[in-house]
Structure 1
Amino acid sequence: MSLTAFASLADLTLSLYPDFSWLSSLVETATGWVGLVIIFAYSFLIAFALPGVSEIVLAAPLDLGLPYSAKLAVIILVSGAGKAAGSVFAFHIGRQTKESGYVERALERLPVDVMGWTERKAVQIAQNWGFAGLAAALCVPGFPDTLSIYAFSVLEDDYLKFAAATFVGSCGRLVVTVIGIEAALAFL
Protein backbone atom coordinates (compact mmCIF):
# COMPACT_ATOMS: atom_id res chain seq x y z
CA MET A 1 0.00 0.00 0.00
CA SER A 2 1.19 3.47 -0.79
CA LEU A 3 1.23 6.30 1.70
CA THR A 4 0.67 8.57 -1.30
CA ALA A 5 -2.93 7.36 -1.48
CA PHE A 6 -3.46 8.25 2.18
CA ALA A 7 -1.74 11.60 1.68
CA SER A 8 -4.10 12.34 -1.23
CA LEU A 9 -7.07 11.60 1.03
CA ALA A 10 -5.56 13.89 3.65
CA ASP A 11 -5.03 16.67 1.07
CA LEU A 12 -8.65 16.36 -0.04
CA THR A 13 -9.81 16.66 3.56
CA LEU A 14 -7.55 19.65 4.15
CA SER A 15 -9.04 21.41 1.16
CA LEU A 16 -12.54 20.84 2.53
CA TYR A 17 -11.71 22.00 6.06
CA PRO A 18 -8.84 24.52 5.88
CA ASP A 19 -9.45 25.92 9.37
CA PHE A 20 -8.22 22.71 10.95
CA SER A 21 -5.34 22.03 8.57
CA TRP A 22 -2.79 22.47 11.34
CA LEU A 23 -4.32 19.58 13.27
CA SER A 24 -4.54 17.36 10.21
CA SER A 25 -0.94 18.24 9.39
CA LEU A 26 0.07 17.27 12.90
CA VAL A 27 -1.52 13.85 12.37
CA GLU A 28 0.10 13.47 8.95
CA THR A 29 3.54 14.11 10.43
CA ALA A 30 3.08 12.14 13.66
CA THR A 31 6.01 9.82 14.22
CA GLY A 32 7.05 7.31 16.82
CA TRP A 33 5.05 6.28 19.83
CA VAL A 34 4.15 9.92 20.59
CA GLY A 35 2.36 9.85 17.25
CA LEU A 36 -0.09 7.36 18.73
CA VAL A 37 -1.03 9.93 21.37
CA ILE A 38 -1.64 12.46 18.59
CA ILE A 39 -3.79 9.92 16.70
CA PHE A 40 -5.78 9.16 19.86
CA ALA A 41 -6.32 12.88 20.58
CA TYR A 42 -7.31 13.64 16.97
CA SER A 43 -9.76 10.72 16.92
CA PHE A 44 -11.20 11.84 20.27
CA LEU A 45 -11.73 15.39 19.00
CA ILE A 46 -13.18 14.37 15.65
CA ALA A 47 -15.81 12.24 17.39
CA PHE A 48 -17.54 15.22 18.95
CA ALA A 49 -16.27 18.54 17.69
CA LEU A 50 -14.08 18.65 14.61
CA PRO A 51 -15.30 18.57 11.03
CA GLY A 52 -13.56 16.24 8.66
CA VAL A 53 -12.91 12.57 8.37
CA SER A 54 -10.93 10.23 10.54
CA GLU A 55 -9.17 8.37 7.73
CA ILE A 56 -6.30 10.86 7.89
CA VAL A 57 -4.81 8.83 10.73
CA LEU A 58 -3.85 6.18 8.18
CA ALA A 59 -1.41 8.70 6.63
CA ALA A 60 0.60 9.05 9.85
CA PRO A 61 4.20 7.99 9.11
CA LEU A 62 4.68 6.25 12.44
CA ASP A 63 7.98 4.46 12.87
CA LEU A 64 7.19 1.97 15.61
CA GLY A 65 9.65 -0.75 14.67
CA LEU A 66 6.74 -3.01 13.74
CA PRO A 67 5.91 -4.76 10.49
CA TYR A 68 3.64 -2.67 8.25
CA SER A 69 0.48 -4.68 8.93
CA ALA A 70 1.07 -4.57 12.71
CA LYS A 71 1.65 -0.80 12.56
CA LEU A 72 -1.58 -0.40 10.61
CA ALA A 73 -3.45 -2.53 13.17
CA VAL A 74 -2.08 -0.40 16.05
CA ILE A 75 -3.13 2.82 14.28
CA ILE A 76 -6.63 1.43 13.69
CA LEU A 77 -7.03 0.25 17.31
CA VAL A 78 -5.70 3.49 18.82
CA SER A 79 -7.90 5.59 16.54
CA GLY A 80 -10.91 3.40 17.39
CA ALA A 81 -10.23 3.81 21.10
CA GLY A 82 -9.91 7.58 20.72
CA LYS A 83 -13.14 7.77 18.73
CA ALA A 84 -14.94 5.61 21.31
CA ALA A 85 -13.75 7.88 24.13
CA GLY A 86 -14.76 10.99 22.19
CA SER A 87 -18.13 9.48 21.38
CA VAL A 88 -18.83 8.86 25.06
CA PHE A 89 -18.10 12.54 25.64
CA ALA A 90 -20.44 13.44 22.73
CA PHE A 91 -22.97 10.97 24.12
CA HIS A 92 -22.91 12.77 27.45
CA ILE A 93 -23.29 16.18 25.75
CA GLY A 94 -26.18 14.82 23.66
CA ARG A 95 -27.92 13.45 26.74
CA GLN A 96 -27.52 16.76 28.59
CA THR A 97 -28.73 18.74 25.57
CA LYS A 98 -31.78 16.52 25.21
CA GLU A 99 -32.63 16.94 28.88
CA SER A 100 -32.24 20.73 28.73
CA GLY A 101 -34.61 21.05 25.76
CA TYR A 102 -32.75 24.14 24.48
CA VAL A 103 -31.84 22.67 21.08
CA GLU A 104 -35.31 21.26 20.53
CA ARG A 105 -36.92 24.64 21.26
CA ALA A 106 -34.53 26.42 18.86
CA LEU A 107 -35.16 23.90 16.08
CA GLU A 108 -38.93 24.07 16.56
CA ARG A 109 -38.80 27.75 15.53
CA LEU A 110 -37.45 26.84 12.07
CA PRO A 111 -39.91 26.73 9.16
CA VAL A 112 -38.80 23.16 8.33
CA ASP A 113 -39.43 20.29 10.74
CA VAL A 114 -35.73 19.42 11.20
CA MET A 115 -36.26 17.73 14.55
CA GLY A 116 -39.15 15.64 13.32
CA TRP A 117 -37.34 14.39 10.21
CA THR A 118 -34.04 13.76 12.00
CA GLU A 119 -35.68 12.06 14.92
CA ARG A 120 -37.84 9.87 12.68
CA LYS A 121 -34.83 8.73 10.64
CA ALA A 122 -32.60 8.22 13.65
CA VAL A 123 -35.35 6.43 15.59
CA GLN A 124 -36.04 4.23 12.57
CA ILE A 125 -32.37 3.23 12.29
CA ALA A 126 -32.02 2.77 16.05
CA GLN A 127 -35.18 0.67 16.28
CA ASN A 128 -34.35 -1.45 13.26
CA TRP A 129 -30.64 -1.86 13.84
CA GLY A 130 -29.82 -0.60 17.34
CA PHE A 131 -26.16 -0.22 18.10
CA ALA A 132 -25.31 -2.32 15.04
CA GLY A 133 -26.86 0.51 12.99
CA LEU A 134 -24.56 3.02 14.65
CA ALA A 135 -21.54 0.81 14.00
CA ALA A 136 -22.59 0.35 10.36
CA ALA A 137 -23.17 4.09 9.88
CA LEU A 138 -19.70 4.79 11.22
CA CYS A 139 -18.13 2.31 8.76
CA VAL A 140 -18.86 4.59 5.80
CA PRO A 141 -15.55 6.19 4.74
CA GLY A 142 -15.59 9.92 4.14
CA PHE A 143 -18.88 10.56 5.93
CA PRO A 144 -18.57 12.91 8.93
CA ASP A 145 -19.34 10.60 11.82
CA THR A 146 -20.12 13.35 14.31
CA LEU A 147 -23.64 13.46 12.85
CA SER A 148 -24.25 9.76 13.50
CA ILE A 149 -22.79 9.97 16.98
CA TYR A 150 -25.00 12.86 18.05
CA ALA A 151 -28.10 11.41 16.39
CA PHE A 152 -27.76 8.18 18.32
CA SER A 153 -26.76 9.93 21.55
CA VAL A 154 -30.23 11.40 22.02
CA LEU A 155 -31.93 8.05 21.45
CA GLU A 156 -29.89 5.61 23.47
CA ASP A 157 -28.81 5.56 27.08
CA ASP A 158 -26.19 2.81 27.43
CA TYR A 159 -22.71 4.37 27.53
CA LEU A 160 -20.84 1.06 27.29
CA LYS A 161 -22.79 -0.24 24.28
CA PHE A 162 -22.49 3.17 22.65
CA ALA A 163 -18.70 3.18 23.12
CA ALA A 164 -18.42 -0.39 21.84
CA ALA A 165 -20.50 0.38 18.74
CA THR A 166 -18.41 3.46 18.06
CA PHE A 167 -15.17 1.51 18.49
CA VAL A 168 -16.32 -1.25 16.12
CA GLY A 169 -17.65 1.25 13.58
CA SER A 170 -14.52 3.40 13.70
CA CYS A 171 -12.19 0.45 13.29
CA GLY A 172 -14.44 -0.93 10.56
CA ARG A 173 -14.31 2.38 8.71
CA LEU A 174 -10.52 2.35 8.66
CA VAL A 175 -10.42 -1.30 7.57
CA VAL A 176 -12.89 -0.56 4.75
CA THR A 177 -10.72 2.41 3.72
CA VAL A 178 -7.54 0.31 3.67
CA ILE A 179 -9.25 -2.46 1.68
CA GLY A 180 -10.64 0.09 -0.77
CA ILE A 181 -7.29 1.78 -1.30
CA GLU A 182 -5.49 -1.54 -1.68
CA ALA A 183 -8.09 -2.70 -4.21
CA ALA A 184 -7.74 0.54 -6.17
CA LEU A 185 -3.96 0.28 -6.15
CA ALA A 186 -4.14 -3.31 -7.38
CA PHE A 187 -5.80 -2.06 -10.57
CA LEU A 188 -3.24 0.69 -11.22
Structure 2
Amino acid sequence: MAGLQFQVHESSYIDDGVSIGEGTQIWHFCHVLTGSQIGTQCRIGQNVVIGPNVSVGNNCKIQNNVSIYNGVHLEDDVFCGPSMVFTNINTPRSAFPRNRPEDNLQTHVRRGASIGANATVICGNEIGSFALVGAGAVVTRDVPAYAVVYGNPAKQHGWACECGLVLTCDANVVKCKECGRGYEIQNDTLTPVTPSF
Protein backbone atom coordinates (compact mmCIF):
# COMPACT_ATOMS: atom_id res chain seq x y z
CA MET A 1 0.00 0.00 0.00
CA ALA A 2 2.86 2.30 -0.82
CA GLY A 3 2.02 5.91 -1.54
CA LEU A 4 -1.01 6.02 0.73
CA GLN A 5 -1.29 8.50 3.59
CA PHE A 6 -1.21 5.66 6.15
CA GLN A 7 1.15 2.74 6.76
CA VAL A 8 0.29 -0.95 6.74
CA HIS A 9 2.90 -3.65 7.33
CA GLU A 10 3.20 -6.12 4.45
CA SER A 11 2.13 -9.02 6.70
CA SER A 12 -1.28 -7.42 7.42
CA TYR A 13 -4.52 -7.74 5.45
CA ILE A 14 -6.91 -4.90 4.68
CA ASP A 15 -10.22 -6.01 3.13
CA ASP A 16 -12.08 -4.05 0.48
CA GLY A 17 -14.50 -1.43 1.78
CA VAL A 18 -12.27 -0.23 4.65
CA SER A 19 -11.55 3.42 5.45
CA ILE A 20 -8.22 4.31 7.10
CA GLY A 21 -7.30 7.86 8.10
CA GLU A 22 -4.16 9.81 7.38
CA GLY A 23 -1.13 9.07 9.57
CA THR A 24 -2.46 5.78 10.92
CA GLN A 25 0.05 2.94 11.33
CA ILE A 26 -0.95 -0.73 11.26
CA TRP A 27 1.75 -3.16 12.31
CA HIS A 28 2.47 -6.88 11.80
CA PHE A 29 -0.13 -9.65 11.32
CA CYS A 30 -3.25 -7.48 11.56
CA HIS A 31 -6.55 -7.93 9.73
CA VAL A 32 -9.04 -5.12 9.12
CA LEU A 33 -12.36 -6.50 7.88
CA THR A 34 -14.90 -5.04 5.45
CA GLY A 35 -16.92 -2.01 6.50
CA SER A 36 -14.53 -0.90 9.24
CA GLN A 37 -13.48 2.71 9.66
CA ILE A 38 -10.24 3.72 11.36
CA GLY A 39 -9.56 7.40 12.03
CA THR A 40 -6.43 9.50 11.65
CA GLN A 41 -3.18 9.14 13.61
CA CYS A 42 -4.07 5.73 15.10
CA ARG A 43 -1.45 3.17 16.19
CA ILE A 44 -2.52 -0.43 15.70
CA GLY A 45 -0.10 -2.94 17.27
CA GLN A 46 0.67 -6.41 15.96
CA ASN A 47 -1.85 -9.25 15.76
CA VAL A 48 -4.93 -6.98 15.96
CA VAL A 49 -8.26 -7.87 14.32
CA ILE A 50 -10.74 -5.08 13.60
CA GLY A 51 -14.20 -5.69 12.20
CA PRO A 52 -16.29 -6.21 10.34
CA ASN A 53 -18.14 -2.88 10.52
CA VAL A 54 -16.21 -1.46 13.47
CA SER A 55 -15.59 2.26 14.01
CA VAL A 56 -12.33 3.45 15.53
CA GLY A 57 -11.93 7.19 16.17
CA ASN A 58 -8.90 9.43 15.70
CA ASN A 59 -5.67 9.05 17.69
CA CYS A 60 -6.58 5.66 19.16
CA LYS A 61 -3.86 3.33 20.38
CA ILE A 62 -4.65 -0.38 20.14
CA GLN A 63 -1.87 -2.52 21.56
CA ASN A 64 -0.87 -6.06 20.55
CA ASN A 65 -3.30 -9.00 20.47
CA VAL A 66 -6.60 -7.09 20.64
CA SER A 67 -9.71 -8.12 18.67
CA ILE A 68 -12.37 -5.48 18.09
CA TYR A 69 -15.47 -7.23 16.77
CA ASN A 70 -18.68 -6.06 15.14
CA GLY A 71 -20.68 -3.98 17.61
CA VAL A 72 -17.70 -2.26 19.25
CA HIS A 73 -17.29 1.49 18.73
CA LEU A 74 -14.22 3.44 19.88
CA GLU A 75 -14.36 7.24 20.00
CA ASP A 76 -11.29 9.50 19.68
CA ASP A 77 -8.20 9.09 21.90
CA VAL A 78 -9.09 5.63 23.23
CA PHE A 79 -6.30 3.39 24.56
CA CYS A 80 -6.69 -0.42 24.46
CA GLY A 81 -3.94 -2.20 26.40
CA PRO A 82 -2.18 -5.39 25.30
CA SER A 83 -4.37 -8.50 25.06
CA MET A 84 -7.50 -6.83 26.43
CA VAL A 85 -10.74 -8.46 25.24
CA PHE A 86 -14.06 -7.20 23.91
CA THR A 87 -16.74 -9.89 23.91
CA ASN A 88 -19.35 -9.55 21.18
CA ILE A 89 -22.10 -12.05 22.04
CA ASN A 90 -23.81 -12.21 25.43
CA THR A 91 -24.55 -15.97 25.49
CA PRO A 92 -22.19 -17.69 23.02
CA ARG A 93 -22.60 -21.33 22.01
CA SER A 94 -20.59 -23.10 19.34
CA ALA A 95 -23.47 -25.42 18.43
CA PHE A 96 -26.09 -22.64 18.43
CA PRO A 97 -24.84 -19.60 16.46
CA ARG A 98 -26.23 -16.29 17.69
CA ASN A 99 -27.24 -14.22 14.69
CA ARG A 100 -30.16 -12.27 16.13
CA PRO A 101 -29.67 -8.51 16.76
CA GLU A 102 -30.49 -8.92 20.46
CA ASP A 103 -27.58 -11.36 20.84
CA ASN A 104 -24.99 -8.95 19.38
CA LEU A 105 -24.97 -6.13 21.92
CA GLN A 106 -23.28 -2.78 21.18
CA THR A 107 -20.25 -1.70 23.22
CA HIS A 108 -19.21 1.97 23.27
CA VAL A 109 -15.87 3.28 24.51
CA ARG A 110 -16.13 7.04 24.85
CA ARG A 111 -13.50 9.68 24.14
CA GLY A 112 -10.23 9.46 26.05
CA ALA A 113 -11.00 6.23 27.94
CA SER A 114 -8.17 3.79 28.70
CA ILE A 115 -8.52 0.02 29.12
CA GLY A 116 -5.61 -1.78 30.77
CA ALA A 117 -3.78 -4.92 29.68
CA ASN A 118 -5.72 -8.20 29.88
CA ALA A 119 -8.97 -6.47 30.87
CA THR A 120 -12.25 -7.92 29.56
CA VAL A 121 -15.22 -5.79 28.54
CA ILE A 122 -18.47 -7.76 28.37
CA CYS A 123 -20.60 -6.68 25.39
CA GLY A 124 -23.46 -4.25 25.84
CA ASN A 125 -21.62 -1.96 28.23
CA GLU A 126 -20.33 1.59 27.89
CA ILE A 127 -16.96 2.87 29.07
CA GLY A 128 -17.44 6.57 29.81
CA SER A 129 -15.20 9.41 28.65
CA PHE A 130 -11.75 9.49 30.27
CA ALA A 131 -12.54 6.43 32.40
CA LEU A 132 -9.60 4.29 33.49
CA VAL A 133 -10.13 0.51 33.48
CA GLY A 134 -7.38 -1.28 35.39
CA ALA A 135 -5.31 -4.17 34.05
CA GLY A 136 -7.10 -7.50 34.35
CA ALA A 137 -10.47 -5.94 35.20
CA VAL A 138 -13.70 -7.63 34.08
CA VAL A 139 -16.24 -4.97 33.11
CA THR A 140 -19.78 -6.31 33.54
CA ARG A 141 -21.69 -2.99 33.65
CA ASP A 142 -21.40 0.59 32.44
CA VAL A 143 -18.40 2.59 33.67
CA PRO A 144 -19.09 6.29 34.42
CA ALA A 145 -17.05 9.04 32.79
CA TYR A 146 -13.76 9.69 34.66
CA ALA A 147 -14.23 6.60 36.88
CA VAL A 148 -11.30 4.40 37.94
CA VAL A 149 -12.42 0.77 38.00
CA TYR A 150 -10.62 -2.51 38.58
CA GLY A 151 -11.20 -6.02 39.89
CA ASN A 152 -13.45 -8.93 38.94
CA PRO A 153 -16.15 -7.82 38.57
CA ALA A 154 -14.82 -4.30 38.06
CA LYS A 155 -15.86 -1.83 40.75
CA GLN A 156 -15.20 1.88 41.05
CA HIS A 157 -12.27 2.87 43.28
CA GLY A 158 -11.97 6.59 42.50
CA TRP A 159 -11.78 9.18 39.76
CA ALA A 160 -9.25 10.02 37.03
CA CYS A 161 -8.32 13.33 35.42
CA GLU A 162 -8.45 13.78 31.65
CA CYS A 163 -4.65 13.61 31.72
CA GLY A 164 -4.82 10.14 33.32
CA LEU A 165 -3.68 10.92 36.86
CA VAL A 166 -5.81 9.33 39.58
CA LEU A 167 -7.33 12.18 41.58
CA THR A 168 -7.12 12.56 45.35
CA CYS A 169 -10.70 13.36 46.31
CA ASP A 170 -11.07 14.69 49.86
CA ALA A 171 -13.65 17.38 48.99
CA ASN A 172 -16.43 17.99 46.48
CA VAL A 173 -14.12 20.12 44.33
CA VAL A 174 -10.76 18.66 43.31
CA LYS A 175 -7.79 19.82 41.28
CA CYS A 176 -5.37 17.58 39.38
CA LYS A 177 -1.88 17.88 40.86
CA GLU A 178 -0.28 17.28 37.47
CA CYS A 179 -2.20 19.36 34.90
CA GLY A 180 -4.30 21.67 37.10
CA ARG A 181 -7.71 20.71 35.69
CA GLY A 182 -10.54 21.19 38.16
CA TYR A 183 -13.55 18.95 38.82
CA GLU A 184 -16.66 18.88 40.96
CA ILE A 185 -18.08 15.69 42.47
CA GLN A 186 -21.84 15.70 42.81
CA ASN A 187 -24.34 12.81 42.94
CA ASP A 188 -21.65 10.20 42.14
CA THR A 189 -20.65 12.14 39.02
CA LEU A 190 -17.38 13.93 38.26
CA THR A 191 -17.82 17.08 36.16
CA PRO A 192 -15.10 19.39 34.83
CA VAL A 193 -15.11 22.89 36.31
CA THR A 194 -14.97 25.60 33.66
CA PRO A 195 -12.73 27.42 33.84
CA SER A 196 -10.40 25.21 35.84
CA PHE A 197 -8.96 26.87 38.92
Shorter-chain-normalised TM-score: which range? Answer: under 0.3
More strand by share: 2
- With normalisation by structure 1, the TM-score equals 0.23
**Greater RCO, CA 8 A, separation 6+:** 1
More helix by share: 1
- With normalisation by structure 2, the TM-score equals 0.23
